[in-house]
Every structure is written in C-alpha cells, then in structure tokens.
Structure 1
Amino acid sequence: MRWFEIALVVLTLLSGLVWLLDKLFLAQRRAAHAGLLDDGRDPWYVDYAKAFFPVLAIVLVLRSFVAEPFRIPSNSMMPTLLTGDFILVNKFAYGLRLPISNAKIVPIGEPERGDVVVFKPPQHPEQDWIKRVIGLPGDTIEYKGNQVFVNGQPFGYERVGDYVGVGSGAEMTGASLLTERIPGRPHQVLEVDRLPFVDQGERGAQVVPAGHYFVMGDNRDRSDDSRFWGFLPEQNIRGKAFLVWLNCDSITNLCKHNFDTSRIGNRIP
C-alpha cells in the first residue's frame, strides 16, 4: 500500500523534526520565558512528537529494511500460497532500499531461481504482486506444452494427484497437482487440464535481458505473469517472501469464520 508507506515516512519526518527543534531551540526559549504561573508542561504538539516519533521510526526501519507484511489477494500462487495468506517479506535479502522510491542503497544479494518475490509490476506500479523467479538475467526461457525450459533444459514434473481447494480456492478443485523440480528448489504447481485456453503464454524462446527476471505464478493457468507482460525489472522487486504468519480468507467480521490456523508458520518453498 503505497499511501501507507508515504504517510509513515511523512509522519516520521514531521514528528522527528518537531522533537529536534524543541530539543535544540524551543525548550530553551520556553525556559527563558517561564513565569511563575508556568506549569512546566510541553505544548501538545511537542508531547505528541515525543510520544510517536520513536514508535514511528522503529516501524519505518523494520518495514523498510527488515521485514514487511503483505496479504495474498488472489489464487495465482496456489498451491504454495492461498488467498488470504498474510506473509512476511525479507526486505534486505536483495539489498537495502529506500522507502517510497525503492532505490537500492546497499547491494547485498540477487534473486535466485525459485525465489518467491514481491514486486511492483511495470504495468501496475501502484500495486504489489507476488510470483516465483524462473529465469535469471542471460537465461533463455521457453514455455511450451505446460512445461518450462531454461537454457534448453526442461524442468522435471511429477504428478501428485488432484488438488482439493477450500474457500476462495475451491474453484481449483480437480486441477492437477504437480511437483515442479527446479534444481535445488522443488515446489508444487497447479494445472487446469480440463479447461482449454486460447493463450497459454507460449511465446517461443526468449532471452532474459540484463537487470531483469522472468517470473511465473505457481497456479499456471490462473496467473498473469512474464509469459504475458514481459520481464520484471530488478528495481521493481521489493523483497523475498519467506513465511506465512496468518491466513484469513475473508477479512470481513474480523476473520471469525475464515481463520485457518494450519497455515501459521508455514515457510515458503
């Protein structure tokens, strides 16, 4: 939510500025002009600044440079992530970035094949999306016959069975549940064999340009990803998803009837 990030930065800066001005100038001026009837209390705006600035600063630092929570709004990453999963995103795995601008200031690492990343898609820069990294810079990627080829080598697939969805994911019941074997990063994906699609995202071999990545959703027939809108610029990546800390399929009624405790603490493969 970009508006929340902007508001957090603005409020932190304003409260910090008021606190600093009071410490350097205003408090001394008040002391110099204090009278017998002065009760010695700070003005209300200074009180608020002193109370909120430390809290806001801690939240800003944690959210910008350590970990940030996100909620999964769709089925595009099933079965790995379900609609309503609240996840934590590692904000320093790929380098420290400034809030709002997302400009990298300290390089630390780069996305690896198989990572699940949160990013701002080029066509919707105001939104946050989540997909899995399939192609790295310089890779040749091809998707045909529901199979991924990287540099001419196909990923291995093993059918697990038929998927049974619940809640918002019930529409995926009956889809084929497969294990996709990215080297060192096996994970499960869904394919809807029973529903033909005109456009399966087959574009022929493509070379991932420098500074870009090829990303796909694990729910292969229900994902708007690099097969359709192209490569993801590195500067659009916000962090690496690593943990589900809550699931609430519907946020109405404070999750009273949609709370799934079995999702709590699940690591994201």
Structure 2
Amino acid sequence: MAEPSTAKPATSPAKPRSETSETIRFLLKLAIIVWLFRSFVFAPFSIPSESMLPRLLIGDYLFISKWNYGYSRWSMPFGVPPVSGRLFGSVPARGDTVVFRSKGEDDHDVIKRVIGLPGDTIQMRRGQLFLNGQAIAKQRIADFVVPLSPNFDQRHCEAEFVAPAPEGATCRIPRFRETLPGGRSYEVLDQRYIPDADDTQVFTVPAGNVFLMGDNRDDSADSRFPSADEALPGQPQGMGFIPLERVQGKAVIIFWSTDGSANWLLPWTWVTAARWDRIGGGFD
C-alpha cells in the first residue's frame, strides 16, 4: 500500500520589489515625516520685508515652534486639511513674536509682535502706545545702524537716514525701547509722525483675537489698520484683529541670515554674504 505523500506544495517565490517602487515608498515616508515635523514641531520662516526692524532683517531665516499656542488648520502647510477650531489652544503672551496667516483672498504667512490680548484696549497717540489706558514706556536709545546691501538698499532707507562710512554706506534710523507691563521690553523704530499710524482710535480686542504690530512702526501694515475686506475706500489697509486660530507659532531662533549678495553659482559668495553675527539669535 502506497504511503501518502508528505511533500509540501510548491510556492511561488516572492516577487521582488522594483527599485522605483522602493524609492517612491521612501519618498512618501519622508514626505509624511516632514509634514508632521513642520505641522507639530518646528517650521522655517524667512523675512521678506522690513516691517520687523530692528529685530529682524530682510534675509533672516528663523524657526518657529508650533506647539506654544495650539494647533489649527493653519498649523499645517498650506492650511490643509481645512479643519475648524484649535486643539490644545492657548493665548500668546504680550510681546511674543509670532507667525500667523493673514486674512483675505491673498492670505499668506506674516510675522508681527503681540501687543494686545482679548479684552485689551490699544491706542496710538502721537506715536506713543497706550495699553488699557496707560502709556507704555518708550525710551530713546542709540540709532539703529545697518549696512546698505542688496537685501536692504536705499529703497528701504530714505535718503535722510543714509550715512557714509569707511566700509560703505549705512542706514541710521531713530530707535526706541518699549517696556510692557511686567517688564517685557523690545526695540522699535520710529522715523516720523504719520497720522494714520501714530494717532488711532481706541481698539478693543475681541474675544478669540489678538492685536499685532510691527516693530518698524512707520512701515508695518498691522492691526492698526483694517484688513482689505474691512477697509473703506481710500482707507489704509493692514491686518485688523487676528483670530487666535490663525496664529501658527512662536519665533524661537535665527538659523541663517544673508545680505543678499550671494551668487548661487559661486559657492564662496555664500560665505561672504552670510551675516554670521545674527545666526543663533533668540527671542525674549
């Protein structure tokens, strides 16, 4: 009598993955990791304008931390997915430098300083900041001096502030130190009297919003001015009040800075264009 066969059925060998599919899998995993890191931990931000002088120069690159004020759709790159509300939400402190998403159809990332919290009143009188009816200390200090460069040329510095120097022309702008209640202080620039910016109505910050201003008080479209969809014809436009859910994160450290003179085809100019003394600078 024949014994039953114990041979195992033949199995086909596993189909090897192609090099292309492995590369795609790796890139997808990398993209997910980068998306998670940018959304929930740190994200880079570059300074495109002079509105936060003297603290931030055009050509500065910094990291913002994403966990300080909670998470919303604007914590995610490009605001995707479009979820509503905030998770683990908290209110910034007065004086924090924050990145937020502006309102309107041309919404984009912007950086300003938090001046007013929900319920606060803010007003400018002859260039003096008043918070909850009390004048904020404003002390004249040494002029802000920055060399003229491709990233900060004479278009950014009015002729009356250009000063010759042995190493090249510089821009010298009147500088002041403001000190908020509780002792938080920062530097601001104030070149001249501008009625719409230096004499304002009394603003009362609504619940769930903050009032933001640029440190370069004469060159910042901020909460002193209504947003484009709120402004009347002929009225200067700014940001208006910013909802807390649009605040993305807090500025923490400058990781690179360039004066704009580098040529990407000439690697040695990447070194000469760097503003090394600015790298590593933090925020109070």
Q: Same fold (TM over 0.5)?
A: yes
Q: CA deviation at 1:238?
A: 1.1
How many Å separate the matches in 1 of 2:18 and 2:143? 65
SS at match of 1:52: helix
**Residue type at the aligned position of 1:203:** T
Checking the alignment, whether the CA contact within 8 Å between 1:77 and 1:217 is kept in structure 2 is yes
User: What corresponds to 1:174 in structure 2?
Assistant: 172
Instruction: Flag the 1:124–1:81 CA change in 2: closer, same or farther, 3 A.
Output: farther
How many Å separate the matches in 2 of 1:124 and 1:201? 28
Q: Which of 131, 140, 158 is residue 159 of structure 1 equivalent to?
A: 140
How many Å separate the matches in 1 of 2:274 and 2:83? 33
User: What corresponds to 1:185 in structure 2?
Assistant: 184
How many Å separate the matches in 1 of 2:59 and 2:32? 28
Q: What TM-score, normalized by structure 2, do the two folds share?
A: 0.75
Q: Which of 96, 114, 118 is residue 95 of structure 2 equivalent to?
A: 114
Q: Which of 228, 247, 252 is residue 237 of structure 1 equivalent to?
A: 247
SS at match of 2:124: strand
| Count of residues paired in the alignment | 233
**Residue type at the aligned position of 2:64:** V
User: What corresponds to 1:26 in structure 2?
Assistant: none
Checking the alignment, whether the CA contact within 8 Å between 2:72 and 2:246 is kept in structure 1 is no
Q: CA deviation at 1:236?
A: 1.3
Q: What TM-score, normalized by structure 1, do the two folds share?
A: 0.79
How many Å separate the matches in 1 of 2:11 and 2:263? 54
User: What corresponds to 2:236 in structure 1?
Assistant: none
SS at match of 2:50: coil
Instruction: Flag the 1:41–1:210 CA change in 2: closer, same or farther, 3 A.
Output: same
**Residue type at the aligned position of 2:259:** D
| 1:75 and 2:50 correspond | yes
**Residue type at the aligned position of 1:145:** R
User: What are the superposed Cα offsets for residues 162-219 of structure 1, whole Å, 9 maximum, x if unpaired?
Assistant: 22122344616332111110133111111113xx535325322111001111100001
User: What corresponds to 1:204 in structure 2?
Assistant: 201
**Which moved further from structure 2: 162-171 or 177-186?**
162-171
Paired residues for 1:84-163 under 5 Å: 84-98=59-73, 99=76, 100=79, 101=82, 103-123=84-104, 125-163=106-144
| 1:55 and 2:70 correspond | no
SS at match of 2:277: helix
Q: CA RMSD in A?
A: 2.3
Q: CA deviation at 1:44?
A: 4.9
Instruction: Flag the 1:213–1:108 CA change in 2: closer, same or farther, 3 A.
Output: closer
How many Å separate the matches in 1 of 2:249 and 2:55? 17
Checking the alignment, whether the CA contact within 8 Å between 1:102 and 1:236 is kept in structure 2 is no
Q: CA deviation at 1:102?
A: 6.8
Q: CA deviation at 1:258?
A: 2.3
Checking the alignment, whether the CA contact within 8 Å between 2:152 and 2:259 is kept in structure 1 is no
Q: Say which structure is richer in helix.
A: 1
**Which moved further from structure 2: 257-266 or 244-253?**
244-253
Instruction: Flag the 1:247–1:134 CA change in 2: closer, same or farther, 3 A.
Output: same
Checking the alignment, whether the CA contact within 8 Å between 1:201 and 1:228 is kept in structure 2 is no
**Which moved further from structure 2: 213-222 or 167-176?**
167-176
Checking the alignment, whether the CA contact within 8 Å between 2:86 and 2:245 is kept in structure 1 is no
Checking the alignment, whether the CA contact within 8 Å between 2:53 and 2:189 is kept in structure 1 is yes
Question: What percentage of aligned pairs have identical amino acids?
Answer: 36
User: What corresponds to 2:164 in structure 1?
Assistant: none
Q: CA deviation at 1:106?
A: 2.5
Q: CA deviation at 1:96?
A: 2.8
How many Å separate the matches in 1 of 2:39 and 2:83? 9
Checking the alignment, whether the CA contact within 8 Å between 1:113 and 1:135 is kept in structure 2 is yes
| 1:41 and 2:16 correspond | yes
How many Å separate the matches in 2 of 1:138 and 1:264? 37
**Which moved further from structure 2: 56-65 or 159-168?**
159-168
Q: Which has the larger radius of gyration?
A: 2
Checking the alignment, whether the CA contact within 8 Å between 1:117 and 1:241 is kept in structure 2 is yes
**Residue type at the aligned position of 2:258:** C
Checking the alignment, whether the CA contact within 8 Å between 1:92 and 1:108 is kept in structure 2 is no
How many Å separate the matches in 2 of 1:133 and 1:142? 14
How many Å separate the matches in 2 of 1:266 and 1:147? 28
**Residue type at the aligned position of 1:260:** R
How many Å separate the matches in 1 of 2:89 and 2:202? 31
